[in-house]
Structure 1
Amino acid sequence: MVAQEFTVDLEKPLVFQVGHLGEAYQEWVHQPIVSKEGPRFFANDLLELLTRTVWWAVPVIWLPVVCWCVTQSIQMGHALPQVALMVAFGISVWTLIEYTLHRFLFHIETKSYWGNTAHYLLHGCHHKHPMDRLRLVFPPAPAAILCVMFWNLVKLFATPTTAPALFGGGLLGYVMYDCTHYYLHHGQPTKDHAKNLKRYHMNHHFRIQNKGFGITSALWDIVFGTLPPSKSSS
């Protein structure tokens, strides 16, 4: 069977099907199915469980780590104003990481079997089923692996006393990102800024998916010229 002729059976586990779509995968994955009931990914119950994460797990697990990191820099002699600046810098760096990952990794175009499969697990599933409550935030296990990598990267560029606060700021930025992302999909904002941010993100999902890569703000979309046309965000 030619790859383009393959049809995904939504009643069966999806992950090992989507790779067969080949070049047709990109078109398929960007045709969203708006349903609060998420699809099954794996036939194996344990693997399936590992793909599902409640949103509140993110702050519950990672905010204590943020507090510990900030405390370390304070105990090593930095004053609160200094630590606050480090945390703020870490958050600002995260916003750039957030934009870069979303634009260049999460929206990479794939067509091979394993490329499509990996992309679907990483981000494609979110575009195909954008209202799936349990697959919106990043699962803790892979997040922990990435945290170790980022921690070692921060240590290369920072001093031993500033690294914890800088890393804590970046991690706080991630927590803000994931919680904001969840809220934009499932919250009902009443303030103008939040309403505009929700409209901006829904525009990315349902109208112009190759623009508007920022989640917590549109800053880097403005800087790098990926801001959606105004007529598409109304």
Structure 2
Amino acid sequence: MTSSTPAPKTNKGAIHRGKAPAVVGWSWLDNLIHVHPVITVAMYTPVIITCVWFAVEGEQANSWALLGWAAAGYVTWTLSEYWGHRVVLHYEPEKGFGARLHYILHGIHHDYPQDVRRSLLSPLLSVPMVAGTIYMASGLGSLPLTFGAGYAFGYLTYDLFHLYLHHATPKNRLMRHLRSLHMRHHFRDDTSGFGISAPYWDELFGTSVARPSRSTTRSGRQTA
């Protein structure tokens, strides 16, 4: 007689269509906690341009060094995306302030996956992450400001990429595959598939949603 392991953990809340209700009692505060995509682009595009401008205008600006710092910043963002999504956004306290905060920052997105504003990372997280990175980079001189630019660019492209996967119907084969991976994270198993714009980190760290879940039967069949 064979025994089976539990099925993969799935999202606890019911999936709803349309716009989510406000997460706080004041609409103005709700609009600060979750912003429209246009606001996100308007916030971070000038930050990226400013960082690049000061880096290029700095002393001993070298094209390869600028690109190297920018690439390092982008890669650092992809790691922030993966680990932030896995460790921070999917840390789910059962009750109290922690449970409430989790719902505000990410749980509401899983409950209302088609709400445009809830598809973007809240400024409560994005502003400290981007501002902190740029501040630390600026302490190393003008050239490393492109590290901050690369990090901010990575964040902005991630947000827009995530929005695209939720609200578009990709025609490109690669985009269809990436959308399929992310939808599996939402609707099959939210304990895997944390790299949205950078799914290769899931492959490296063993959390790829494309692989059979760890919760499989002894016979090798994936549980439903």
Measured in 1, the distance between the counterparts of 2:169 and 2:28 equals 33
Q: Say if 1:102 and 1:52 are closer, same or farther in 2 by CA, change over 3 A.
A: closer
Q: Say if 1:40 and 1:140 are closer, same or farther in 2 by CA, change over 3 A.
A: closer
Measured in 1, the distance between the counterparts of 2:128 and 2:206 equals 32
Corresponding residue pairs, total: 204
The 3-state SS of whatever aligns with 1:124 is helix
The answer to whether the Cα contact below 8 Å between 1:212 and 1:218 also exists between their aligned partners in 2 is yes
Residue 141 (structure 2) pairs with residue 163 (structure 1): no
Q: Say if 1:106 and 1:167 are closer, same or farther in 2 by CA, change over 3 A.
A: same
The answer to whether the Cα contact below 8 Å between 1:36 and 1:133 also exists between their aligned partners in 2 is no
The answer to whether the Cα contact below 8 Å between 1:177 and 1:216 also exists between their aligned partners in 2 is yes
The 3-state SS of whatever aligns with 1:39 is coil
TM-score, normalising length from structure 2?
A: 0.82
Give the aligned residue type for 2:39: A
Deviation by residue 1:40-97 (Cα, 9 ceiling, x = unmatched): 3222233233234211222222112111111211111323332122211111111011
The 3-state SS of whatever aligns with 1:119 is helix
Aligned ranges 1:205-220 → 2 under 5 Å? 205-220=186-201
Give the aligned residue type for 1:206: F
Deviation by residue 1:108-165 (Cα, 9 ceiling, x = unmatched): 1311311110111111111111111122213446533333322233346xx3122211
- Unaligned regions of 5+ residues in structure 1, if any? 1-26
The 3-state SS of whatever aligns with 2:37 is coil
The 3-state SS of whatever aligns with 1:138 is coil
Give the aligned residue type for 1:33: I
Q: Say if 1:141 and 1:224 are closer, same or farther in 2 by CA, change over 3 A.
A: closer
- Unaligned regions of 5+ residues in structure 2, if any? 1-8, 214-224
From 166, 169, 184, the equivalent of 1:185 is: 166
2:217 aligns to what? Answer: none
Aligned ranges 1:4-19 → 2 under 5 Å? none
From 51, 59, 66, the equivalent of 1:83 is: 66
Measured in 2, the distance between the counterparts of 1:141 and 1:41 equals 13
Q: Say if 1:49 and 1:28 are closer, same or farther in 2 by CA, change over 3 A.
A: farther
Measured in 2, the distance between the counterparts of 1:50 and 1:208 equals 30
Measured in 2, the distance between the counterparts of 1:212 and 1:149 equals 26
The answer to whether the Cα contact below 8 Å between 1:180 and 1:216 also exists between their aligned partners in 2 is yes
Choose 193-202 or 33-42, whichever is displaced more.
33-42
Residue 52 (structure 2) pairs with residue 70 (structure 1): yes
Q: Say if 1:180 and 1:32 are closer, same or farther in 2 by CA, change over 3 A.
A: farther
1:201 aligns to what? Answer: 182
The 3-state SS of whatever aligns with 1:56 is helix
Choose 28-37 or 196-205, whichever is displaced more.
28-37
Percentage of identical aligned residues: 29
Of structures 1 and 2, the one with the larger relative CO (CA 8 A, separation 6+) is: 2
Measured in 1, the distance between the counterparts of 2:131 and 2:114 equals 30
Measured in 1, the distance between the counterparts of 2:28 and 2:38 equals 21
The answer to which structure has the higher helix fraction is 1
The answer to whether the Cα contact below 8 Å between 2:65 and 2:143 also exists between their aligned partners in 1 is no
Give the aligned residue type for 1:56: V
2:98 aligns to what? Answer: 115
2:6 aligns to what? Answer: none
Give the aligned residue type for 1:95: T
CA RMSD of aligned residues (A): 2.2
1:149 aligns to what? Answer: 132
Q: Say if 1:145 and 1:94 are closer, same or farther in 2 by CA, change over 3 A.
A: closer
TM-score, normalising length from structure 1?
A: 0.79
